């Protein structure tokens, strides 16, 4: 004899309706912002020296902060609801891997928040303008070099690789999910493999290609995810259905 039990599916579970909407809106905002972030680096390349950073912050603090990945911080904050929503949806594929992916993503973001040195660099640049002796300027240069090294070697690289790896796991889980198309999954896989390709010792031009592929790919990926989550919200709010499963 076969009986059935009523199990609410994640995509139609009424208690997650608010999260679907918030996660969808967040991803729809994060997608275009990611594309804008790439354009910033294309039109205003990062300085290669500490003198260049100081000069940039003195000339145009807004561009200086954007070049120092201000948009990256904003995108990380905005996309948190989307990461939580993806965990809710993908846990049906694999509870273990979905929670690992979500935890790694949030850990990578926290690492970045704790070690980004944009404020310190801006402060040093302002102090450099008002320095009156060569000794003061030399000390500020040394401090700026140390702050920049922390950002490039700790904040950006470590966080970037952790988040890229976790989003690669998320994209792979999407291939086995009924809630996302294979197109969305493959865009995420390509974008996050390209992210890790940026740190393979290759010719600079090749690394730049990987960087553009990652940025554009993530922008498209977040936008596609946002559209899907928003559709889930609309479907769930109109018809919170339940699924009959054999028991």
The pTM of the full predicted model, rounded to 2 decimals, is: 0.83
**Low-confidence winner among 4-8, 22-26, 190-194, 198-202 (lowest mean pLDDT):** 4-8
Answer yes or no: is pLDDT of 243 > 50.
no
Quick one: pLDDT at residue 14? 63
Distance of CA 24 to the CA centre of its chain: 15
> Across all residues in the chain, what is the average pLDDT?
84
pLDDT tens by residue, 19-67: 889 999 999 999 999 999 989 988 998 888 888 999 999 889 999 999 8
pLDDT tens by residue, 138-168: 999 999 888 888 777 766 788 888 999 999 9
Quick one: pLDDT at residue 155? 63
C-alpha distances (whole Å) from 43 to each of 3, 36, 115, 117 are: 63, 10, 26, 22
Neighbours of 5 (CB within 10 A): 10
Q: Token pair 């690492």 is at which residue?
A: 111
Q: What is d(CA 66, CA 52) in angstroms, rounded to the nearest whole number? A: 15
Q: What integer is the mean pLDDT of 171-183?
A: 92
Quick one: pLDDT at residue 23? 94
Q: What is d(CA 226, CA 89) in angstroms, rounded to the nearest whole number? A: 13
pLDDT tens by residue, 85-113: 999 999 989 999 999 999 999 999 998 88
Q: Which residues contact 138 (CB under 8 A, 6 or more apart)?
A: none
Quick one: pLDDT at residue 240? 54
Answer yes or no: is pLDDT of 237 > 80.
no
Task: Provide the pLDDT confidence category of residue 130 given band limits of 50, 70 and 90.
Answer: confident
């Amino acid at each position: 004899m076969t009986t059935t039990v009523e199990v609410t599916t994640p995509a139609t579970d009424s208690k997650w309706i608010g999260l679907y909407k918030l996660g969808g809106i967040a991803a729809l905002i994060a997608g275009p912002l990611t594309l804008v972030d790439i354009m910033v680096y294309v039109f205003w390349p990062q300085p290669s020296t500490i003198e260049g950073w100081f000069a940039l912050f003195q000339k145009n603090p807004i561009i200086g902060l954007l070049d120092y990945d201000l948009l990256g911080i904003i995108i990380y904050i905005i996309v948190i609801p989307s990461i939580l929503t993806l965990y809710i949806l993908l846990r049906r594929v694999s509870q273990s891997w979905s929670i690992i992916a979500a935890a790694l993503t949030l850990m990578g973001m926290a690492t970045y928040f704790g070690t980004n040195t944009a404020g310190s660099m801006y402060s040093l640049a302002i102090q450099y303008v008002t320095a009156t002796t060569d000794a003061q300027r030399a000390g500020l240069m040394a401090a700026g070099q140390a702050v920049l090294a922390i950002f490039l070697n700790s904040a950006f690289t470590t966080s970037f690789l952790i988040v890229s790896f976790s989003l690669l796991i998320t994209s792979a889980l999407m291939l086995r999910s009924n809630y996302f198309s294979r197109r969305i999954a493959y865009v995420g896989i390509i974008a996050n493999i390209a992210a890790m390709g940026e740190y393979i010792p290759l010719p600079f031009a090749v690394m730049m290609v990987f960087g553009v592929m990652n940025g554009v790919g993530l922008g498209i990926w977040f936008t596609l995810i946002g559209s899907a989550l928003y559709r889930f919200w609309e479907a769930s709010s109109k018809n919170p259905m339940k699924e009959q499963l054999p028991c």
